[in-house]
Amino acid sequence: MRCFFLIILLCCLTKTVNASDSLWTLEHCIDYADSHNISIRASEVSARAAKMQYEQSRLSQFPAISFSGSYGKNFGRSIDPTSNQFENTTYGFTGLSGSASFLLFGWFGKRNTIKKNNLLHQASMADMEQLKDNVRLNIVNSYLKILLAKEQIRISKRQIDYSIQKEEQTAQLLKAGRSNGLDMSQMETQLTIDSATWLKANLAYDQAVIDLKAILNLELQTPFAISPLSEGDSSAGMLLKLTPKMVYNVALAYQGNIKSNQLKVKSAEKDVAIAKSGLYPSLSIGGSFGTNYSSTFYQYLPNGDQVLMPWGKQLRNNFSQSVYISLGIPVFNGLSGRYAVKQSKVTLQTSRLEEQQAESDLRQTVYKAWNDVATALQTWHAAVSTSKSANKGYYFAEERYKKGLINAADFLTAQNTFFKAQYDEAVAKYDFIFKVKVIEFYMGK
- Band of pLDDT at residue 227, cut at 50, 70 and 90: confident
Residue 226 lies in a domain: yes
Note whether 256 and 365 are same-domain residues.
yes
- Band of pLDDT at residue 279, cut at 50, 70 and 90: confident
- Band of pLDDT at residue 19, cut at 50, 70 and 90: very low
Residue 306 lies in a domain: yes
pLDDT higher at 294 or 87: 294
Residue 194 lies in a domain: no
pLDDT mean over 1-6 = 48
- Band of pLDDT at residue 14, cut at 50, 70 and 90: very low
Q: What percent of the chain has pLDDT over 90?
A: 36
Residue 322 lies in a domain: yes
Q: Count of CB atoms within 10 A of residue 312's CB?
A: 9
- Band of pLDDT at residue 220, cut at 50, 70 and 90: confident
Note whether 422 and 382 are same-domain residues.
yes
Note whether 292 and 422 are same-domain residues.
no
Per-residue pLDDT for 5 more than 60? no
Length of the chain as a residue count:
445
What residues have CB less than 8 Å from 160, skipping those under 6 apart? 5, 8, 191, 194, 195, 198
Residue 117: per-residue pLDDT: 92
Query: 402-416 pLDDT, tens per residue?
Result: 777 788 888 888 888
pLDDT mean over 366-381 = 90
Residue 11: per-residue pLDDT: 54
Highest-confidence range of 86-100, 197-211, 244-258, by mean pLDDT? 197-211
CA–CA dist 383, 155 (Å, integer):
15
Per-residue pLDDT for 81 more than 60? yes
Domain boundary among 294, 329, 364: 329
Per-residue pLDDT for 114 more than 70? yes
pLDDT higher at 258 or 87: 258
Domain boundary among 270, 302, 329: 329
- Band of pLDDT at residue 16, cut at 50, 70 and 90: very low
CA–CA dist 348, 265 (Å, integer):
6
Residue 311 lies in a domain: yes
- Band of pLDDT at residue 32, cut at 50, 70 and 90: very high
| Contact between residue 289 and residue 321 where contact means Cβ atoms under 8 Å apart | yes
Query: 280-308 pLDDT, tens per residue?
Result: 888 889 899 898 888 877 777 777 777 78
Residue 22 lies in a domain: no
Residue 411 lies in a domain: yes
What's 54's domain CATH number? 1.20.1600.10
Domain boundary among 301, 329, 357: 329
Note whether 271 and 318 are same-domain residues.
no
Note whether 234 and 250 are same-domain residues.
yes
Note whether 225 and 268 are same-domain residues.
yes
φ, ψ for residue 255, nearest 5 deg: -60, 130
Per-residue pLDDT for 17 more than 60? no
CA–CA dist 261, 123 (Å, integer):
8
Q: Count of CB atoms within 10 A of residue 360's CB?
A: 10
Residue 191 lies in a domain: no
Q: Pairing state of beta strands 23-24 and 225-226? A: parallel
pLDDT mean over 192-204 = 91
Note whether 259 and 379 are same-domain residues.
yes
Query: What average pLDDT is seen over the chain?
Result: 84
Residue 208: per-residue pLDDT: 92
- Band of pLDDT at residue 146, cut at 50, 70 and 90: very high
Least confident of 55-64, 71-80, 378-387: 71-80
Query: 234-275 pLDDT, tens per residue?
Result: 555 666 677 888 889 888 888 888 999 999 999 999 999 888
Strand positions, DSSP E, 224-351:
225-226, 282-294, 298-300, 306-308, 320-328
Q: Count of CB atoms within 10 A of residue 233's CB?
A: 17
CA–CA–CA angle 146, 148, 151 (5° rounding): 110
Note whether 286 and 357 are same-domain residues.
no
pLDDT higher at 429 or 18: 429
Pick the closest to residue 16 from 173, 159, 148, 150 (CA basis): 150
Cα–Cα distance list, 137 to 29, 130, 371 (Å): 11, 11, 18
Note whether 258 and 129 are same-domain residues.
yes
CA–CA dist 161, 354 (Å, integer):
58
Per-residue pLDDT for 123 more than 90? yes
- Total of domains in the chain: 2
Note whether 233 and 323 are same-domain residues.
no
Q: Spell out a b/e string for 147-183, using b for 16 or more CB atoms within 10 Å of the CB, else e.
A: bbbbbbbebbbebbebbbebbebbeebeeeeebeeeb
What residues have CB less than 8 Å from 374, skipping those under 6 apart? none
Note whether 323 and 418 are same-domain residues.
no
Per-residue pLDDT for 166 more than 50? yes
Note whether 237 and 320 are same-domain residues.
no
Q: State the residue range of the domain holding 218.
A: 27-61+109-140+211-280+335-442
